């Protein structure tokens, strides 16, 4: 009978496919191909209408016997493949408890963070508070409130990132000082550390993103002598007891009078060396007495109150303190460099 021969052929082919299945996915494909809605046995059942009526019971029995045999073979092979997969998984998860443990790499503070915390400790010890402010700042606070109106030539010295006409990425942390003065809680003794932005090319001493620490004191009867004494103490605390300071006249729009501050070279003691380029002195910051216009714009009476301000680049003093010759090293995340700190 042709139908019997077709069933025998299907049985033989499917059993061979089951034996050669190497994965559960392949075995499932074999099952669908033989027993699925469009499988070989299903197609035979659909053709039963063409079988003589007296032969249908016999053919139906043969189809059921083949189906039962194939289902049993599929289940047996499935269990075998599942056992193999389980064994392989267990083998891959074996842990040799006699091997030494993997040592965790423990991180530590970045050199910038170390120096910033040291500067904060010095000024907090002198009665200052640490204040933070927004990095995305209004043009008014970044320039105009600091006596640098639109069109002022000092704006050209700071290549600013403008978000729009009235909003910038701050070029200094001085806006935090203005915001603090506007609150009207006097006296003020504060430092404002934070990230600032300027459109500089990246090289050994410049970066478009860097950090500043700016300080402000507002009180009655504050003089330039108070500023000198404060910065002299700061330099001694940071660079050593023998450190001396030197003030050179300078100009900043928001302070008058203004000065730049040098410290005696802590490498050679002021004698002159390669580190200080033979001068015996190293420039570290700018400072001055707060301009009366700045006080007035912040709602403080310059006839009653006076104050001083200063600003230092965090990266600059970090490079000096640890004798690093390239600022890019601070941001390249080279573990060989960072683990020295």
Q: pLDDT tens, 159-202?
A: 888 898 889 999 999 999 999 999 989 999 999 999 999 888 88
Give tens-digit pLDDT for 220-256.
999 999 999 999 999 999 888 888 899 999 999 999 9
Q: What is the distance between the alpha carbons of residues 72 and 53, in angstroms, rounded to a whole number? A: 30
Longest distance between any two alpha carbons in the chain, whole Å: 123
Higher pLDDT, 171 or 152: 171
Mean pLDDT, all residues of the chain: 85
User: Which residue has tokens 């600091």?
Assistant: 146
Topology given in CATH for the domain delimited by 2-92? Methane Monooxygenase Hydroxylase; Chain G, domain 1 (1.20.58)
**Res. 45: pLDDT tops 60:** yes
- Paired tokens of 132: 């933070």
Q: What is the pTM of this model?
A: 0.67
User: Is 214's pLDDT higher than 90?
Assistant: yes
Terminal CA-to-CA distance of the chain, rounded, Å? 89
Average pLDDT over residues 64-77: 78
- Give the pLDDT band (50/70/90) at residue 9: confident
What residues have CB less than 8 Å from 189, skipping those under 6 apart? 126, 127, 128, 129, 216, 217, 219
- Provide the CB-side half-sphere exposure for 218 (13 A, CA): 29
Overall fold of domain 111-338: BirA Bifunctional Protein; domain 2 (3.30.930)
Q: Does the structure show a pLDDT above 70 at 49? A: no
Counting DSSP H helices and E strands in the chain, the numbers are 11, 9
Q: For residue 56, what pLDDT is reported?
A: 66
Of the listed ranges 36-50, 122-136, 315-329, the least confidently predicted one is 36-50
Cα(201)–Cα(184) distance, integer angstroms: 39
Identify the pLDDT of residue 195.
94
The DSSP result for 207-235, as a single string, is -SEEEEEEEEEEETT--HHHHHHHHHHHH
pLDDT tens digits, one per residue of 264-315: 887 776 677 777 777 888 888 999 999 999 999 999 999 999 999 999 999 9
Query: So where are the chain's domains?
Result: 2-92, 111-338
Residue 138 has pLDDT above 70, yes or no: yes
β-strand partners of 307? 218
pLDDT at res. 50: 63
């Amino acid at each position: 009978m042709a139908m019997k021969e077709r069933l025998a052929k299907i049985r033989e082919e499917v059993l061979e496919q089951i034996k050669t299945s190497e994965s559960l996915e392949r075995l499932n494909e074999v099952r669908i191909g033989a027993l699925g809605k469009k499988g070989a046995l299903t197609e035979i059942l659909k053709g039963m209408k063409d079988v003589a009526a007296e032969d249908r019971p016999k053919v139906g029995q043969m189809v059921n016997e083949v189906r039962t045999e194939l289902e049993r073979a599929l289940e047996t092979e499935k269990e075998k493949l599942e056992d193999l997969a389980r064994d392989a998984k267990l083998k891959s998860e074996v842990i040799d408890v006699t091997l030494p443990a993997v040592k965790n790499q423990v991180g530590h503070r970045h050199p910038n963070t170390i120096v910033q915390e040291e500067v904060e400790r010095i000024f907090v010890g002198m009665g200052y508070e640490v204040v933070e402010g927004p990095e995305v700042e209004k043009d008014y606070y970044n320039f105009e409130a600091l006596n640098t109106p639109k069109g002022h030539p000092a704006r050209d010295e700071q290549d600013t990132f403008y978000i729009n006409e009235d909003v910038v990425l701050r070029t200094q942390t001085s806006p935090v000082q203005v915001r603090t003065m506007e609150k009207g809680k006097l006296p003020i003794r504060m430092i404002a550390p934070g990230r600032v932005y300027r459109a500089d090319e990246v090289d050994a001493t410049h970066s478009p993103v860097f950090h500043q620490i700016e300080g402000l004191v507002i009180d009655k009867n504050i003089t330039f002598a108070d500023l000198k004494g404060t910065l002299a103490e700061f330099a001694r605390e940071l660079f050593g007891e023998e450190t001396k300071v030197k003030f050179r006249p300078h100009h900043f729009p928001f302070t008058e009078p203004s000065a730049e501050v040098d410290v005696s070279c802590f490498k050679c003691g002021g004698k002159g060396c390669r580190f200080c380029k033979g001068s015996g002195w190293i420039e570290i910051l700018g400072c001055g007495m707060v301009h009366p216009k700045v006080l007035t714009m912040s709602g403080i009476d310059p006839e009653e109150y006076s104050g001083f301000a200063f600003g230092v680049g965090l990266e600059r003093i970090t490079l000096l303190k640890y004798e690093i010759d390239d600022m890019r090293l601070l941001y390249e995340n080279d573990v060989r460099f960072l683990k020295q700190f």
